[in-house]
Copies of this chain bind each other. A is one copy, B any other.
Amino acid sequence: MSECVLFLENPTSTVVEHPMPSASSVQRSRSAWSLVLCALMLLLFTGCASVKPDPLPSWNEGSTKQAIIAFVAKVTTPGTPAFVPLPERIATFDNDGTLWAEQPFYSQGLFILERVKVLAPQHPEWRTKEPFASVLKGDVKGALAGGDKAIFELVAATSMGMSTAEFDALVRDWIATARHPRFNEPYTAMVYTPMVELLAYLRANGFKTFIVSGGGMAFMRPWTEKVYGVPPEQVVGSSGKTQFEILGGVPVIMRLADPGFIDDGPGKPVGIETHIGRRPILAFGNSDGDLQMLQWTAGGSGARFMGIVHHTDAVREWAYDTDASVGKLSPATLDQARARGWTVVDMKRDWAVVFPFQAPQAAHR
């Protein structure tokens, strides 16, 4: 659309560039030019009107898509009561299960399990020490039976006690080479095309888009800019404690084996307040861990949009909610969402595409 408008603004500007002609030929050529130009303008005008591109082509037509577009139109129309000035257009998105797949297990979990295997030769004691022993036997459930303590031990052994630069390099290497167990695609292709579109659509309308995830901040930042268009400084997540040190004259930031901030559940509004300092006007999540972020967003004054991605497509992705061990969405959360008029995205119904490597399809129910 913008290119058409640009061209139409000055459609006749090239005419004067021709060498000086005779009087009649000027008149003839002018009439001819006028006709051509009129035809061209008409063509362009109708063309512009008819090709106005769909900002969300991967979303099927319906109430969900309409709700998103209506909200964006409402808050970006100056002079209306719901108008929101540019700096306040803050949108926050959960990552796992909202922007990319979280089944069969969180990607960061798979990264950690792989690191345990890679590091095992340097730790012969792991063969008999939990939770490592179970991981090395391929028994993830057994490893996680130790609860939060076991998870922290796995994180500490694989992701802490090194500099931020070293961890960054490990993540970059893994994300460039690892493949998803079901789809055999790189994890950066396991993103939801409609959500990537939504991020871009919001930014095109002056929103600043943030990720607010329970996942590790340092695990996301190396690739979110390329994959989602979200720069590191707009990625909020969980993080362990770090410490500035000068090692052999070189300043480094060390990742201490010390739990820090968990950006999940009630931690999400805290993370938002700490990192952004402004309440979002739009938030999207998919599980109980996003409830407080949605409540915090809903609690502000003025127009608000709260969205939940409901995983309903067992064929193209996964169908899960109440009983899921990863990404649990309990009936209480879903009931609250519906009662308060939040938008529940039915993945199967609302999305024409799920992953970028799949062919688009129309609504199929």
Contact = CB atoms under 8 A, between A and B. Distances in A.
Interface stretch (A12-20, A107-115, A145-153): A12-20
Interface residues of A, number: 50
A285 to B, nearest CB: 14
Contact of A244 (B221, B231, B244, B269): B269
A274 interface: yes
Given A12-B13, A13-B13, A232-B278, A296 B244 contact: yes
Interface in A232-260: 232-235, 239, 242-244, 246, 250-251, 253
A275 B233 CA distance: 6
A270 interface: yes
A17 B37 CA distance: 13
Contact of A275 (B24, B218, B246, B275): B275
A22 interface: yes
A233 B244 CA distance: 23
A263 to B, nearest CB: 11
A299 B221 contact: no
Contact of A242 (B90, B218, B231, B270): B270
Contacts of A27: 20
Contacts of A208: 233
Contacts of A231: 87, 278
Contact of A251 (B12, B20, B90, B296): B296
Contacts of A269: 244, 251, 253
Interface of A: 10, 12-13, 15-17, 20, 22-24, 26-27, 30, 87, 90, 164, 208, 217-218, 221, 225, 231-235, 239, 242-244, 246, 250-251, 253, 266-270, 273-278, 292, 295-296, 298-299
30 contacts: A10-B13, A12-B16, A13-B13, A15-B16, A16-B16, A20-B30, A90-B233, A208-B233, A217-B274, A218-B277, A221-B277, A231-B278, A232-B277, A233-B233, A233-B275, A233-B276, A233-B278, A243-B266, A243-B270, A244-B268, A244-B269, A244-B270, A244-B296, A251-B269, A251-B292, A251-B295, A251-B296, A253-B270, A253-B273, A275-B275
